Amino acid sequence: MTLNKYYPDSEAVSKSSIGKQLEMELRIRIISQDISKETVLSENQLANEYQISRSPVREALRVLEKEKLLRLERMGVIITGISEADIEEIYDIRLLIESFVVNRLLESENNDLLIELNKIAEMMKVSIRYGDIDEFSKQDMKFHETIIYSINHQQIAMVWDQLKPVMECLVILSMRYRGLTNYDDFSRVIHNHQLIIQALSEKKTALVEDAFDKNFNDVQNKVESFWRSPEMLKKARDYSG
Q: What pLDDT does 87 receive?
A: 92
C-alpha dist (Å) from residue 236 to 11, 69, 175: 22, 19, 8
- In CATH terms, the fold of domain 11-79 is Arc Repressor Mutant, subunit A (1.10.10)
Domain layout of the chain by residue ranges: 11-79, 84-238
Integer angstrom CA distances of residue 183 from 132, 176, 186: 11, 9, 6
Separation of alpha carbons 105 and 87, rounded Å: 27
| Range 139-145 contact pairs with CB under 8 angstroms and sequence separation of 24 or more | 140/171, 140/175, 140/189, 140/193, 141/167, 141/168, 141/171, 143/117, 143/193, 144/94, 144/98
User: For position 212, what pLDDT does the model report?
Assistant: 77
Q: pLDDT, tens digit, for every residue of 22-81?
A: 999 999 999 999 999 999 999 999 999 999 999 999 999 999 999 999 999 988 999 999
Q: Is the pLDDT assigned to residue 219 strictly greater than 60?
A: no
The string of pLDDT tens digits covering residues 132-190 is: 999 999 999 999 999 999 999 999 999 999 999 999 999 999 999 999 999 999 999 99
For 222-240, the pLDDT digits (tens) are 556 888 899 999 999 999 7
Residue 4's pLDDT is what? 80
pTM, 2 dp: 0.93
Domain 84-238 CATH class label: mainly alpha
